[in-house]
Structure 1
Amino acid sequence: MPLPRLISGLSEIASGHDALICDVWGVVHDGARHHPAAADALMRFREKHGPVVLLTNAPRVPEEVAAQCASYGLPADCYDAIVSSGGATRDELARRSAAGPLSLYYIGPDRDLPMIEGLDIRRTGIEQADIALCIGLVDDMTETVADYAGVLAAMKARGLEMLCANPDLVVHRGPRLLYCAGSLAQAYEASGGQVVYYGKPHLPVYAAALAAAGNPKKPLAVGDGLVTDVRGANAAGLDVLFIADGVHGEDVTPYTPEHLAALFARYGAHAATVTRALKW
Structure 2
Amino acid sequence: MTSSLPNITGLSEISSRYDAVLSDVWGVIHNGIHAFPEAVEALVNFRKGGGRVVLITNAPRPSAPIIEMLDELGVPRDAYDDIVSSGDATRSMIAKYKGKNIHHVGPEAKDDALYEGFDLTRTDTAEADVVIVTDLDDDDDTPEMYRERAQGWLARKLPMIVANPDRVVEHGEKIIYCGGALGDLYSAMGGMVYMAGKPYAPIYDEALRLAEKANGTSLDKSRVIAIGDSVRTDATGAAQFGVDLLFITGSIHAAELDAFGNPDPQAIADLLEPSRARTAGYLPRLTW
Normalised by the length of structure 1, the TM-score is 0.94
C-alpha distance in 2 between matches for 1:277 and 1:216: 26
Deviation at 1:113, TM superposition (A): 2.1
Aligned length: 276
Amino acid at match of 1:172: E
C-alpha distance in 2 between matches for 1:145 and 1:278: 30
Task: Give the equivalent residue in structure 2 for 1:175.
Answer: 173
Deviation at 1:5, TM superposition (A): 0.3
- Give CA-to-partner distance per residue, 1:37-89, whole Å, 9 cap, x none: 11110011011132100000000110011111111111111100010001111
| Segment of structure 1 superposing worse, 247-256 or 219-228 | 247-256
C-alpha distance in 2 between matches for 1:270 and 1:168: 21
Task: Give the equivalent residue in structure 2 for 1:126.
Answer: 125
Task: Give the equivalent residue in structure 2 for 1:36.
Answer: 37
Residues 115-194 of structure 1 mapped to structure 2, 5 A cutoff: 115-140=114-139, 142-194=140-192
Residues 58-97 of structure 1 mapped to structure 2, 5 A cutoff: 58-97=59-98
The alignment partner of 2:83 has SS state of strand
C-alpha distance in 1 between matches for 2:104 and 2:96: 17
Normalised by the length of structure 2, the TM-score is 0.92
2:253 pairs, out of 245, 248, 252, with 248
Deviation at 1:269, TM superposition (A): 4.4
The alignment partner of 1:272 has SS state of strand
Tell me the percent identity. 39
C-alpha distance in 2 between matches for 1:21 and 1:28: 12
Amino acid at match of 1:216: L
* CA RMSD between the two structures: 1.5
1:231 pairs, out of 225, 230, 236, with 236
Gaps of 5+ in 2: 213-217
| Segment of structure 1 superposing worse, 126-135 or 258-267 | 258-267
The alignment partner of 1:94 has SS state of helix
The alignment partner of 2:240 has SS state of helix
C-alpha distance in 1 between matches for 2:50 and 2:6: 21
Amino acid at match of 1:45: F
C-alpha distance in 1 between matches for 2:91 and 2:283: 34
Residues 256-275 of structure 1 mapped to structure 2, 5 A cutoff: 256-265=264-273, 269-275=277-283
C-alpha distance in 1 between matches for 2:125 and 2:17: 51
- Deviation above 6 Å: which 4+ runs of structure 1? none
The alignment partner of 2:35 has SS state of coil
Deviation at 1:184, TM superposition (A): 0.3
| Segment of structure 1 superposing worse, 46-55 or 112-121 | 112-121
Amino acid at match of 2:281: T
Is the 1:3–1:272 Cα contact (8 Å) retained in structure 2?
A: no
Task: Give the equivalent residue in structure 1 for 2:215.
Answer: none
